[in-house]
């Protein structure tokens, strides 16, 4: 059951758990709901008009407002921040935000997820500001397929160059996310691993998820991670690797020949709601307690009142009972046509 417990001698650190006894540890922040890409599974090109109606920059939380929210979450035990979107690097001066976040007591790690379109110009500043980790989305090595999936003519070569730049930097971890869609890019799994094996980059294959409504998701378009693992194991023998922390979303695997590791994010076939400790903050100042939520909690009016904000966020977390993917797997959510928040709004 949800509880709010005073802990630690400093009396400023609180522990809050939700209805399923899960603490909050990870905050994902959508810096913008705009994006220059039009990935078919996230923001399909035919819905560009919808994008125009998304928040204008004046409605976005300022960096000061974002850090005010992070300070409160840090008091509740959040130690990891992920900056995402939309495309987070469409916001100017993200490095300033990174350095502000790094100075907040309790925050141990700041990560960024990006399509890398604008990364080359700002990577050095981000690293100097203290960014710890980066995840770059790349669904195909093949240029034509990449263009088909992302709705852009951006060059794969340029993304690969940005990844190399990341590897040469002081970043602690460089990951690549690949959303696998049946009949679309399954054939990119082996080439992606072949390209990144032995480089230190951890590729993570994500089962295509039913986030939002615009992508018109169908279960038949999902490639089960187990099938991919068989395929990979046939090419390069692999073995599982233990998780390093509670709430880790990816199952990790190591190549037996010592050429590194990769991950599988299997939200559809093997949901991980039981230890989900992630909260999300939208660019409009709403807290979401699940990726599949159909509504958020507006905390914008409380941003200048830290104690009231703390109470409000604690209450939101205490009331949380989300386990969408676990319920979906039990078929309770089959043929679910409810209105959900889009991925580019809620923050991936
Ligand atoms: N624009 C940035 C990017 O693409 O990396 C950050 C935001 S994006 C929403 C975050 C991650 O969500 C990306 O790795 C993307 O591939 C993933 N994603 C988006 N829609 C998805 C879906 N329907 N199923 C699974 N992953 C999805
Ligand atoms: Fe943009 Fe990222 Fe969504 Fe692709 S996945 S449309 S890059 S926000
Ligand atoms: Fe967490 Fe919701 Fe995903 Fe379950 S479905 S793992 S509760 S975000």
Distances 143 to 87, 160, 203 between C-alpha atoms, Å: 20, 12, 18
Ligand 3: residue of 84, 280, 290 to mutate (most ligand atoms within 8 A of CB) is 290
Q: What is the pLDDT of residue 218?
A: 93
Residue having the nearest C-alpha atom to atom 7 of ligand 3: 323
Cut 0.85: pTM above it? yes
* Ligand 2 pocket member 43 (CB < 6 A): yes
Which residue, among 227, 139, 222, has the nearest Cα to 181 in the 3D structure? Answer: 222
Residue ranges lining ligand 1, Cβ < 6 Å: 35, 41-42, 84-85, 87, 113-115, 137, 177, 179, 206, 208-209, 211, 215, 343-344, 348
Q: What is the pLDDT of residue 279?
A: 98
- Looking at 90-142, list the stretches that DSSP marks H as alpha helix, in order from N- to C-terminal side: 94-102, 119-129
Distance of CA 104 to the CA centre of its chain: 21
Which residue, among 114, 195, 180, has the nearest Cα to 149 in the 3D structure? Answer: 180
Strands 251-255 and 26-30 turn out to be unpaired
Residue tagged 């590729």 (tokens): 203
Quote the CA–CA distance of 38 and 141 in Å, as a whole number: 17
Kindly give the distance from the C-alpha atom of residue 237 to the centroid of ligand 2, in angstroms, as a whole number: 32
2-346 CATH choice from 3.20.20.70, 1.10.10.10, 1.10.390.10, 3.90.1150.10: 3.20.20.70
Closest listed ligand to the CA of 150: 2
Handedness of CA 110, 114, 116, 117 (dihedral sign): negative
Please give the angle made by the CA atoms of 323, 326 and 327, to the nearest 5 degrees.
85
Contact 40, 180 (CB under 8 A): no
Residue ranges lining ligand 3, Cβ < 6 Å: 272-273, 276, 278, 290-292, 322-325
Q: What is the residue-level pLDDT of the chain in tens, covering all 348 positions?
A: 444 444 444 445 678 999 999 999 999 999 999 999 999 999 999 887 766 656 666 689 999 999 999 999 999 999 999 999 999 999 999 999 999 999 999 999 999 999 999 999 999 999 999 999 999 999 999 999 999 999 999 999 999 999 999 999 999 999 999 999 999 999 999 999 999 999 999 999 999 999 999 999 999 999 999 999 999 999 999 999 988 788 889 999 999 999 999 999 999 999 999 999 999 999 999 999 999 998 999 999 999 999 999 999 999 999 999 999 999 888 755 555 678 999 999 888
Ligand 1: residue of 43, 51, 348 to mutate (most ligand atoms within 8 A of CB) is 348
Residue having the nearest C-alpha atom to atom 4 of ligand 3: 273
User: What phi, psi does 300 have (nearest 5°)?
Assistant: -55, -40
Kindly give the distance from the C-alpha atom of residue 292 to the centroid of ligand 3, in angstroms, as a whole number: 7
Handedness of CA 102, 107, 109, 115 (dihedral sign): negative
Contact 32, 88 (CB under 8 A): yes
- Looking at 62-103, list the stretches that DSSP marks H as alpha helix, in order from N- to C-terminal side: 63-75, 94-102
Which residue, among 68, 143, 128, has the nearest Cα to 304 in the 3D structure? Answer: 68
Residue tagged 């599949």 (tokens): 292
Ligand 1: residue of 54, 150, 179 to mutate (most ligand atoms within 8 A of CB) is 179
């Amino acid at each position: 059951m949800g509880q709010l417990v005073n802990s630690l001698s400093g009396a400023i650190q609180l522990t809050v758990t939700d209805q399923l006894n899960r603490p909050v540890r990870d905050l994902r922040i959508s810096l913008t709901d705009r994006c220059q890409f039009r990935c078919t599974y996230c923001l399909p090109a035919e819905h560009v008009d919808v994008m125009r109606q998304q928040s204008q920059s004046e409605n976005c939380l300022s960096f000061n407002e974002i850090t005010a929210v992070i300070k409160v979450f840090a008091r509740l035990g959040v130690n990891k921040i992920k900056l995402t979107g939309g495309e987070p690097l469409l916001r100017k001066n993200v490095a300033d935000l990174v350095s502000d976040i790094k100075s907040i007591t309790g925050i141990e790690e700041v990560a960024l997820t990006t399509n890398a379109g604008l990364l080359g110009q700002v990577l050095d500043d981000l690293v100097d500001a203290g960014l710890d980790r980066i995840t770059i989305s790349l669904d195909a090595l093949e240029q034509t397929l990449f263009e088909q999936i992302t709705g852009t003519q951006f060059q794969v070569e340029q993304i690969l160059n940005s990844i190399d730049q990341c590897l040469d930097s002081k970043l602690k971890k460089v990951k690549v996310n690949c959303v696998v869609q049946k009949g679309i890019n399954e054939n990119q799994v082996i080439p992606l691993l072949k390209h990144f094996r032995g480089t230190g980059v951890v590729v993570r294959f994500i089962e295509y998820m039913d986030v939002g409504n615009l992508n018109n998701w169908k279960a038949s378009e999902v490639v089960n991670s187990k099938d991919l693992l068989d395929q990979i194991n046939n090419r390069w023998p692999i073995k599982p690797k233990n998780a390093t922390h509670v709430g880790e979303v990816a199952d990790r695997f190591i190549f037996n020949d010592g050429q590194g590791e990769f991950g599988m994010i299997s939200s559809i076939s093997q949901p991980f709601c039981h230890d989900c400790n992630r909260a999300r903050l939208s660019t409009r100042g709403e807290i979401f307690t699940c990726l599949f939520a159909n509504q958020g909690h507006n905390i914008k009016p409380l941003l200048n009142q830290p104690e009231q904000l703390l109470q409000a966020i604690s209450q939101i977390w205490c009331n949380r009972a989300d386990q969408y993917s676990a319920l979906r797997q039990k078929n309770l959510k089959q043929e679910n046509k409810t209105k959900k928040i889009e991925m580019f709004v809620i923050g991936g």
